[in-house]
Chain A
Amino acid sequence: MASTVAARAPATIHTSFLLLLVILLSCDLFDRIIASSGEAREEEFTEELLLKPLPDKKILAHFHFQSTVPPSDSIGHHHHLFPKAIAQLVKKFHIRELELSFTQGRWNYESWGGSDPMSNINAKPPGVEMWAVFDLPVNDIDESWKGLTHALSGIFCSSLNFLESSTAYSAPHWGLRTNSSSMRYGALPREAVCTENLTPWLKLLPCRDKAGLASLLDRPSIYKGYYHSQRLQLFSSAASGIILDQTLTVVLQPNVQRNGMPNSYDRFLQPNWSIMSMFKKKVTGQCALARASSIFIELEDGLATELEKLGAGESWNNLAFDLSVAPDRVIKEHNSVEGKSSSILYEFKVVKYSKYEPLDVGIKWKLPLLWSCPEAPFHARRFLMGSGNERGSIAISLQPTQSCDQFLSDSHKCTVRAVIFQVAPWYVKVYYHTLQIFIDGRSVPVADVVEKISVSPSEDKVSPGSLQMMLRFPCDMNSAALAMDFDKGFLHIDEYPPDANQGFDIPSAVVSFPDFYSSRSYLEDNCLKQSPLLLKLQKRTALQSYTEVLLVPLTTPDFSMPYNVITFTCTVLALYFGSLLNALRRRIGEEEQLLKSKDSKRVGLIPRLLSKLKGRTLESHQSSSGSSASSKPRPKWLFKVIFVALIAVLWHYYSNID
């Protein structure tokens, strides 16, 4: 074409260039029109689902719902699609950013991946994690945080209000991915997550679980999984309005569907699954309010490499697997690294399907495939050392994985950075000066490794201790570990939870690697911009992983102790008082004489009681003989007992009347 143009007159070249320019301009203009109309447009909602087979024969299902509201004066008052409650929350508490996650189970970084955007963004620590950035002067933030936790605990039926107390949250400045001085971070590792948290979360979607992709959320199926994380993310700014991302990530074990006789070959085969087999439902059309609704099946790079080795290509039915429905589009990752295959996305548009023609996409494997997930460069683990109820130490170990080499081009003479953020409640009194760092088992001076550190020590019953630390390691190390000693504090008797003997949780530490990034890059396509999920995946984010939650047993008191102490000391005091009084008053000589004289006639109280008891037993034994002497005082005794009982009854009656 170019050559034919060149053969013609230069004027035509000029016009064709002009034409091209006009086309380009019009494209640009068109884009701008779309963008501007998008701005002027109403609130929007999109729903997406990403399914991904995992190397350990499990399936990752990631639901992503996005609601947006353009900036306007009526935010918090009048809403059409966007949940009113959330908009009012943003407005009332001046939230700039918020992330709240409810997670059950622990993300398996080894086999489910740690460095791809999906696991990097969506892996969350067990329990509840919440952070928020406020658009407020520093002095007002704590007040706003307290109100926010209460409001959210009301919305999500959870005990988020426990984050209200200043002992439960901290204010990190640079230890997390989002850095701001007006940020607050809190975690409740022991919060149980169940349907009562999911229902209010679904209530924020315009179609709830009545239609669209959310209707797949069959409660028994999704809570049966290995990992369940429900998340809410908010971005609010004057320029873009409010963006609300709601995601639900579940890892499920599909039921094995096998045809015919099982054989040894089948053991290596990935399980066949479909939406129906996982969620017991089919997709019966999109939510009528959704601007876009699609399902993606992702085959990650490891799997794609295996497929390429087999020569299967990227078609949807090849010699390795069959997709049950033809995809509407195949999106291939644009990968610059040579010698590595890139992940493949199969997209299915839900809008084409309806109640009468439901979508039940699934995958059927024909060949056994083994691959591994992209791991994070380091495995971060945290554990407790020491024994007893007095002191112990926390250790964090970082172990480079094999994928570490892939990230580092030159493994010699280079260094990697790691940022550790850890919060410990005040009753775990960490001595930060005891920080010891070991590289390859040898202790190294702290100053050699720590590049930046900020510590806010805990204050008893006021604030937790938090540690933010940037470390720089040599790339060729085999292991790194750091340890800190702590003392276990004592709580006030009122501060113990009902199940104090279970122990106390230290929330997960966050370990991030600012030198490593995760992102997918797809070839620029206008349609990709329409998908918030793909936009999320394309975003360049620093790698981050969470460590385990630690369980610290504390000394628990005997909770009846105060009363025991009171009774004991009072008895001692009364004894002392009594003996002093007797020493002052009694005449020993006279009493002894009196006793001697009485001895012949009267017996003491205890002998009398004893004799009475004996007499009674004797009487019962000798009922035939009938001793008249011991039966005489019985009516008197009976009368006394009845009298005391009567007094007790009356006392009870009158004290209850008031």
Chain B
Amino acid sequence: MAEQETAADPILAPSSSSSPLSVRTTKPGTKRLLVTLSILLSGLVFLPIFYKSTEIYRSPLPFSSISSLSSHLHSLRPPIPTLLHVLFIRSHPIDSTDSQRISDLIILDLQSRTKSQVSVSISAHSGEGLESLDLSDDEAMDAFLLGMVDASVYTVVVVERAVKGNAKVVVGKHRHAWVVGLVEESEVARVISGVFWKYFVNGGREDGEMVGGEEGDALPVGSDGSLVLSFSLLNADPSDGVYDWDIQKTDRVLAPILESLAPIANITVESQVLYHAPKSSISNWDDRLHSYALSTSALPFFVNSNEWHLDTSIAAPGRSKVLQFVVYIPSATEWPLVLQFPNGETSQTNSFVSPMWGGVVVWNPPESSRNVQKPHFGKHIISTEDLQKIFQVFVGQLRVLFGLRSNNLDDAEIGVTKFLATPKGFTAWELDVLHRRHTYLNLLSCASTLDSLSKLVKSLPRMIIMDEIGKQVKLSVEVASLAQNYASHGVYNASAVSSRNARALAEDAFYHPSIMSISYSSFEHTIAIYMPFFVPVSLQVLIAAKKELTRYKRERAKYLASSA
């Protein structure tokens, strides 16, 4: 065929040489056209296969479940308890209309505060054994009630006994509060709903304060769920005298607190004594106070990061949070040092808290250790009583850092006359609040981490994703849903633990070393490698195909014209 065509061409030649639009008698051959077209086609077919071959391994990530999790969590309100039990201790049983009326009153009051449904159950008890109890002994009452009510449900006990003066409302160490006195039904309902909402649900903070998950609300716990409490004793100027402490003696104070916070974080404690660590703000002598006063407006400059080598802990793993608790001993030239509010009053605890960083206590050495000749020269040990006091302040600061009030005294608005404090530092209902909030914030942070990971992965198509990352992400999503499950069933400490794990897994996936590597090639790199081959070759093929096609069309037109 090729020979035929080439043989045919010379015949045409004499005529075509005179004019290209001369007649053609034979049908134009299609062989060369087919060859060029087949090369073009095979190139086109090969292109996607080739593209597939240049792809790098990416472990499949569950993008859809990540996005559904994050959209679900963002629409979610922080979980709140939905069960409230009211127990009346009275001589006669309560009838159903009365109980219905009271529960309606409580629910009505609660509905003005929240949209979520709370179911209220009401029962009555004759109160055997209560006669022997002194109603003014709150500790005994608390212990007695613990044995009487279901410890997992929030309970308000109304003891209908006549008492002197106003009715007494006490919030206990566990999940119950009690009212002693003969109070009207509407007043009882108001107190019950107030206690339930403000304390059992919100942990003593004002309404709406904890709702929403702003950054400032996050608990001071590292993203891997660990927390280091670093206690430092700072001697501003050791040449005036060196102060030391027996920190091991405070273990008794700290141990129960660490135990109760265990579901929220892995807590480790360490301490050090630093010397030559002056503060960086300046105090003034106040004649009225007979001491050096430091205005609270100067507190932002108190922490001297140049000289206070508080350091992060080496023993702690990578992403843990360190909370610094600092005892500052002023130098002899600044003794005694007090913190003064703008209104002229001095701070009772002589301490302050810096959110997410820790707390500082200014401790002035007692006068007895001061010597006129050589101002408290030598080595002193802070007495156990003083240390006890300092650590009580630290416990209060820890509560503030965790978003609770440093200590609950009374609340006239709701009518609570007393809160029972526990040596554990945190009462059961406070821990519940912390667990709920921790769960909620952890899940939010976990979702946002996974979200950004999936965004990152999608935006970098040439990034290598190891199997391990895929596994961590999957596990994190699963644990997060588990945590949600626990929270909805009211198992708050378990949900805190699993939400912590979910967040840690998500962070691990995000900070996986393989993601950090810069060795994945960019788009420009790919172009630089493949262009030198593909551009010249594709140009050749395309031009050839175009030329052949136009020639074929022209020749066919000639043939058709001549044959017509």
Residues of A whose CB lies within 8 Å of any CB of B are 42, 74, 76-81, 84-85, 88-89, 91-92, 151, 155, 203, 206-208, 210-211, 285, 287-289, 563, 566-567, 570-571, 573-575, 577-578, 581-582, 584-585, 587, 589-590, 593-594, 596-597, 655, 658
Contact with A along B308-319 (1 / 0, CB 8 A): 010101110000
Contact with A along B545-556 (1 / 0, CB 8 A): 001100000000
A566 pairs with B271, CB closer than 8 A: no
What residues of chain B lie closer than 8 Å to A288, measured between beta carbons?
238-239, 242, 275
Closest B residue to A354 using CB positions: B239
- Pick from B35, B244, B276, B541: contact of A80, CB below 8 A: B244
B272 pairs with A84, CB closer than 8 A: yes
Closest B residue to A355 using CB positions: B239
Q: A581-B39, A585-B36 are in contact. Are A92 and B273 (CB under 8 A)?
A: no
B276 pairs with A78, CB closer than 8 A: no
B275 pairs with A207, CB closer than 8 A: yes
Closest B residue to A155 using CB positions: B314
B532 pairs with A571, CB closer than 8 A: yes
What residues of chain A lie closer than 8 Å to B216, measured between beta carbons?
none
Q: How far is the CA of A115 from the CA of B286 in the complex (A)?
A: 64
A206 pairs with B275, CB closer than 8 A: yes
Closest B residue to A91 using CB positions: B315
B269 pairs with A77, CB closer than 8 A: yes
Q: How far is the CA of A35 from the CA of B135 in the complex (A)?
A: 60
- Pick from B6, B314, B315, B544: contact of A585, CB below 8 A: B544
A289 pairs with B270, CB closer than 8 A: no
Which of A91, A151, A590 has the largest count of B CB atoms less than 10 A from its CB?
A590
B540 pairs with A577, CB closer than 8 A: yes
A151 pairs with B314, CB closer than 8 A: yes
Q: How far is the CA of A88 from the CA of B312 in the complex (A)?
A: 11
A76 pairs with B533, CB closer than 8 A: no
A593 pairs with B13, CB closer than 8 A: yes
What residues of chain A lie closer than 8 Å to B247, measured between beta carbons?
78
B20 pairs with A597, CB closer than 8 A: yes
A92 pairs with B315, CB closer than 8 A: yes
Query: Can you list the 3 inter-chain pairs with the closest CB atoms, starting with the nearest?
Result: A574-B536, A570-B532, A570-B533
B248 pairs with A78, CB closer than 8 A: yes
What residues of chain A lie closer than 8 Å to B1, measured between beta carbons?
none
Q: Describe A's contact surface by its main secondary structure.
A: helix
What residues of chain A lie closer than 8 Å to B468, measured between beta carbons?
none
8 interchain pairs (CB within 8 A)? A79-B272, A85-B311, A210-B275, A289-B275, A575-B536, A585-B35, A589-B13, A593-B13
Closest A residue to B9 using CB positions: A590
What residues of chain A lie closer than 8 Å to B313, measured between beta carbons?
84, 88
What residues of chain A lie closer than 8 Å to B18, measured between beta carbons?
597
Query: B304: CB under 8 A from chain A?
Result: no
- Within 140-199 of B, Cβ neighbours of A (below 8 Å) are at none
Closest B residue to A594 using CB positions: B20
Q: Describe B's contact surface by its main secondary structure.
A: helix
Q: How far is the CA of A81 from the CA of B272 in the complex (A)?
A: 8
Q: A85-B311, A88-B315, A577-B537 are in contact. Are A589 and B17 (CB under 8 A)?
A: no
- The size bracket of the interface on B is 35 or more
A571 pairs with B536, CB closer than 8 A: yes
Q: How far is the CA of A210 from the CA of B315 in the complex (A)?
A: 27
State how many angstroms separate the Cβ of B302 from the closest Cβ of chain A: 19
What residues of chain B lie closer than 8 Å to A567, measured between beta carbons?
532
Which of B13, B276, B547 has the largest count of A CB atoms less than 10 A from its CB?
B276
Closest A residue to B20 using CB positions: A597
State how many angstroms separate the Cβ of B4 from the closest Cβ of chain A: 13
What residues of chain B lie closer than 8 Å to A208, measured between beta carbons?
276, 309
A92 pairs with B314, CB closer than 8 A: yes
A-B Cβ contacts below 8 A, count: 119
Q: How far is the CA of A80 from the CA of B548 in the complex (A)?
A: 90
Query: B27: CB under 8 A from chain A?
Result: no
Query: B528: CB under 8 A from chain A?
Result: yes
Query: B300: CB under 8 A from chain A?
Result: no
B271 pairs with A574, CB closer than 8 A: no
A578 pairs with B242, CB closer than 8 A: no
What residues of chain A lie closer than 8 Å to B315, measured between beta carbons?
76, 88, 91-92
- Within 261-310 of B, Cβ neighbours of A (below 8 Å) are at 268-276, 309
A573 pairs with B270, CB closer than 8 A: no
A77 pairs with B271, CB closer than 8 A: yes
What residues of chain A lie closer than 8 Å to B272, measured between beta carbons?
78-80, 84
Q: How far is the CA of A206 from the CA of B313 in the complex (A)?
A: 17
What residues of chain A lie closer than 8 Å to B205, measured between beta carbons?
none
What residues of chain A lie closer than 8 Å to B275, measured between beta carbons?
206-207, 210, 288-289
A289 pairs with B9, CB closer than 8 A: no
B6 pairs with A587, CB closer than 8 A: yes
B239 pairs with A578, CB closer than 8 A: no
Q: How far is the CA of A584 from the CA of B272 in the complex (A)?
A: 85
What residues of chain A lie closer than 8 Å to B269, measured between beta carbons?
77
Contact with A along B226-243 (1 / 0, CB 8 A): 000000000000110010
Q: How far is the CA of A646 from the CA of B123 in the complex (A)?
A: 81
Query: B347: CB under 8 A from chain A?
Result: no
State how many angstroms separate the Cβ of B27 from the closest Cβ of chain A: 16
B17 pairs with A596, CB closer than 8 A: yes
- Pick from A79, A581, A584, A593: contact of B16, CB below 8 A: A593
Q: How far is the CA of A580 from the CA of B242 in the complex (A)?
A: 91
- Other than A574-B540, A581-B541, A582-B544, give 7 A-B pairs with Cβ distance below 8 A: A78-B248, A151-B314, A206-B275, A573-B533, A574-B537, A587-B9, A589-B13
Q: A208-B276, A584-B32 are in contact. Are A84 and B311 (CB under 8 A)?
A: yes
Contact with A along B118-143 (1 / 0, CB 8 A): 00000000000000000000000000
Query: B208: CB under 8 A from chain A?
Result: no
Closest B residue to A584 using CB positions: B35
A79 pairs with B35, CB closer than 8 A: no
- Pick from B35, B523, B537, B548: contact of A578, CB below 8 A: B537
What residues of chain B lie closer than 8 Å to A151, measured between beta carbons?
314
What residues of chain B lie closer than 8 Å to A42, measured between beta carbons?
244
Query: B10: CB under 8 A from chain A?
Result: yes
Which of B20, B35, B248, B532 has the largest count of A CB atoms less than 10 A from its CB?
B532
Q: How far is the CA of A74 from the CA of B459 in the complex (A)?
A: 49
Q: How far is the CA of A553 from the CA of B329 in the complex (A)?
A: 58
Query: B529: CB under 8 A from chain A?
Result: yes
- Pick from B36, B248, B311, B537: contact of A74, CB below 8 A: B248
Q: How far is the CA of A155 from the CA of B39 in the complex (A)?
A: 64
Q: A74-B248, A581-B36 are in contact. Are A589 and B9 (CB under 8 A)?
A: yes
Q: A208-B276, A587-B9 are in contact. Are A88 and B540 (CB under 8 A)?
A: no
- Pick from B271, B276, B529: contact of A210, CB below 8 A: B276
What residues of chain B lie closer than 8 Å to A593, measured between beta carbons?
13, 16-17
What residues of chain B lie closer than 8 Å to A574, measured between beta carbons?
532-533, 536-537, 540
B270 pairs with A77, CB closer than 8 A: yes
State how many angstroms separate the Cβ of A73 from the closest Cβ of chain B: 9
Q: How far is the CA of A316 from the CA of B268 in the complex (A)?
A: 56
Q: How far is the CA of A573 from the CA of B537 in the complex (A)?
A: 9
Q: How far is the CA of A566 from the CA of B533 in the complex (A)?
A: 9
- Pick from B20, B271, B529: contact of A78, CB below 8 A: B271
Q: How far is the CA of A84 from the CA of B533 in the complex (A)?
A: 61
Q: How far is the CA of A76 from the CA of B315 in the complex (A)?
A: 8
A581 pairs with B544, CB closer than 8 A: yes
A80 pairs with B273, CB closer than 8 A: yes
What residues of chain A lie closer than 8 Å to B271, measured between beta carbons?
77-79
State how many angstroms separate the Cβ of B522 from the closest Cβ of chain A: 11
What residues of chain B lie closer than 8 Å to A597, measured between beta carbons?
16-20
What residues of chain A lie closer than 8 Å to B35, measured between beta carbons?
584-585
A78 pairs with B36, CB closer than 8 A: no
Which of A74, A563, A574, A585 has the largest count of B CB atoms less than 10 A from its CB?
A585
What residues of chain A lie closer than 8 Å to B544, measured between beta carbons?
581-582, 585
Q: How far is the CA of A89 from the CA of B18 in the complex (A)?
A: 96
B276 pairs with A207, CB closer than 8 A: yes
What residues of chain A lie closer than 8 Å to B16, measured between beta carbons?
593, 597
Q: How far is the CA of A574 from the CA of B532 in the complex (A)?
A: 8
Closest A residue to B250 using CB positions: A78
Closest B residue to A84 using CB positions: B272
